[in-house]
A and B are shown apart, each in its own frame.
Chain A
Amino acid sequence: MATKLKAVDVVVVGVGLSGSILAKELAEAGLQVVGLERGRWRNTDPDFAMPYAHDELRYVKRHELMQDLSRETLTFRNNAKETALPMRRLGSFRPGEGVGGAAVHWGGLTWRFLPWDFETRSRTLARYGKEQWPEDCTSQDWGVTYDELEPHFDRFEHLYGISGKAGNLKGKVIPGGNPFEGPRSREYPNPPLKTSYAGALFKDAAQKLGYHPFPTPSAANSQPYTNEYGATINACVYCGYCQFFGCEMGAKASPQTAVLPNLMKQKGFELRTHANVVKVNLDSAKKRAVGVTYIDSRGREFEQPADLVLLTSYVFNNVRLMLLSGIGKPYDPVANTGVVGRNYAYQTPSSVTLFFEDKIFNQFMAAGGLGMTIDDFNGDNFDHTGLGFIGGGFFQAATSGARPIEVRPVPRGTPRWGAEWKRAVAKYFNRSFGIAIQGACQSHRGNYLDLDATYRDSYGLPLLRMTFDRTQNEHKMSTYITNKAAEIAKAIGPSKMNVTPRLEKYTIVPYQSTHNTGGAAMGADPATSAVNKYLQSWDVPNVFVVGASAFPQNGGYNPTGTVGALTFHALAAIKTRYLKRPGPLA
Chain B
Amino acid sequence: MDESGGRRRFLKSVGALGAASMPAAAVAQHAAHAPAKSEKYMFLAPAEVAFLDAAVARLIPADDLGPGAKEAGVTYFIDQQLFGGYGVMAKMYRQGPHAEGTPQQGYQSPLTPQEVYRTAIAEINGACAKQYGESFDKLATAQQDEVLHALDEGKFPLDAVPARFFFNMLLDNTVEGFFSDPIYGGNRGKIGWKLVGFPGVAAVYTPYIEKHGVPYDALPVSIEDILQGKSALDEHGHPKHVLLVRKD
Residues of A within 8 A of B (CB): 49-52, 54-57, 61-63, 68-70, 73, 76-78, 82-83, 85-91, 194-197, 200, 235-241, 248-249, 359-362, 364-365, 402-405, 408, 416-419, 421-423, 425-426, 429-430, 454-456, 505-509
Contacts and interface: CB of A to CB of B under 8 A. Distances in A.
B209 A238 contact: yes
* Contact size range, B: 35 or more
Nearest to A240: B202
Given A404-B198, A422-B63, A455-B95, A506 B104 contact: yes
B25 to A, nearest CB: 22
Contact of B238 (A50, A63, A361): A50
B193 interface: yes
Contacts of A404: 179, 192-193, 196, 198
A196 B211 CA distance: 8
Given A62-B85, A508-B105, A51 B197 contact: no
B162 to A, nearest CB: 14
B92 A359 contact: no
Given A237-B206, A239-B204, A362-B208, A88 B65 contact: no
B16 interface: no
Contacts of B214: 360, 362
Q: Name the residue in B63, B176, B199, B214 with the highest tally of chain A Cβ atoms < 10 Å from its Cβ.
A: B176
Contact of A57 (B145, B152, B180): B180
Nearest to A74: B93
B131 interface: no
Contact of A248 (B89, B203, B237): B237
A429 B201 contact: no
Contacts of A197: 212-213
A360 B213 CA distance: 5
Contact of A78 (B63, B102, B195, B199): B102
Nearest to B181: A55
Decide if the interface of chain A is mainly helix, strand, loop or mixed: loop
Q: Name the residue in A49, A51, A88, A200 with the highest tally of chain B Cβ atoms < 10 Å from its Cβ.
A: A51
Interface of B: 58-61, 63, 65, 68, 85-86, 89-95, 97, 99, 101-108, 145, 148, 152, 171, 174-176, 179-181, 183-184, 192-193, 195-206, 208-210, 212-216, 223, 226-227, 233, 236-239
Q: Name the residue in A85, A425, A454 with the highest tally of chain B Cβ atoms < 10 Å from its Cβ.
A: A85
A248 B205 CA distance: 14
A89 B59 contact: no
A554 B61 CA distance: 44
Given A89-B107, A426-B196, A508-B104, A70 B90 contact: yes
A54 B224 CA distance: 11
B181 A505 contact: no
Nearest to A235: B206
A-B interface, 7 closest residue pairs, ranked by CB to CB distance from nearest: A50-B237, A429-B196, A239-B202, A197-B212, A57-B180, A365-B205, A507-B104
Given A238-B206, A419-B61, A248 B106 contact: no
A237 to B, nearest CB: 4
Contact of B104 (A68, A70, A505): A505
Contact of A422 (B60, B89, B94, B97): B60
Contacts of B91: 62-63, 68-70, 90
A553 B127 CA distance: 52
A551 B218 CA distance: 45
A456 B95 contact: yes
A51 B105 contact: no
Contact of A56 (B89, B180, B199): B180
Contacts of A61: 176, 180
Q: Name the residue in B94, B208, B236 with the highest tally of chain A Cβ atoms < 10 Å from its Cβ.
A: B236
B201 A54 contact: yes
A508 B208 contact: no
B54 to A, nearest CB: 14
B108 A85 contact: yes
A425 B196 contact: yes
Given A56-B180, A63-B91, A416-B171, A82 B106 contact: no
A89 B165 CA distance: 14
30 contacts: A50-B201, A56-B179, A57-B176, A57-B181, A57-B184, A62-B91, A70-B94, A83-B101, A86-B93, A88-B93, A90-B91, A196-B209, A196-B210, A197-B212, A235-B206, A237-B206, A240-B202, A248-B237, A360-B213, A365-B209, A405-B179, A417-B171, A418-B59, A419-B61, A421-B60, A422-B60, A423-B65, A426-B195, A507-B104, A508-B104
A422 B195 contact: yes
A416 B174 CA distance: 12
A87 B108 CA distance: 8
B60 A430 contact: no
Contacts of B104: 76, 78, 505-509
A88 B238 contact: no
Contact of B202 (A85, A235, A241, A455): A241
Nearest to A196: B209
B59 A417 contact: yes
Contact of B106 (A194, A454, A509): A509
A154 to B, nearest CB: 28
Contacts of A83: 99, 101
A91 B152 CA distance: 21
Contacts of A89: 92-93, 106-107
Contact of B65 (A56, A422, A455, A508): A422
B65 A426 contact: yes
Given A239-B204, A360-B213, A417-B59, 9 more contacts: A54-B200, A85-B105, A88-B93, A196-B210, A235-B206, A237-B236, A237-B238, A404-B198, A430-B197
A78 B193 CA distance: 39
A57 B182 CA distance: 11
Contact of B209 (A70, A362, A429): A362
A237 B204 CA distance: 5
Contacts of A194: 206, 209-210
B232 to A, nearest CB: 13
A155 B38 CA distance: 57
Contact of B199 (A200, A364, A423): A364
Contacts of B152: 416-417
Contacts of A68: 91
Q: Name the residue in A49, A88, A236, A455 with the highest tally of chain B Cβ atoms < 10 Å from its Cβ.
A: A88
B209 A88 contact: no
Contact of B223 (A52, A365, A426): A52
Contacts of B63: 419, 422
Nearest to B105: A85
A402 B200 CA distance: 11
Contacts of A408: 179, 196
A69 B195 CA distance: 35
Contacts of B223: 51-52, 54-55
Contacts of B205: 237-240, 365
A360 to B, nearest CB: 5
Contacts of A362: 208-209, 214-216
A237 B94 CA distance: 40
Contacts of B58: 417-418
Q: Name the residue in B180, B214, B227 with the highest tally of chain A Cβ atoms < 10 Å from its Cβ.
A: B180
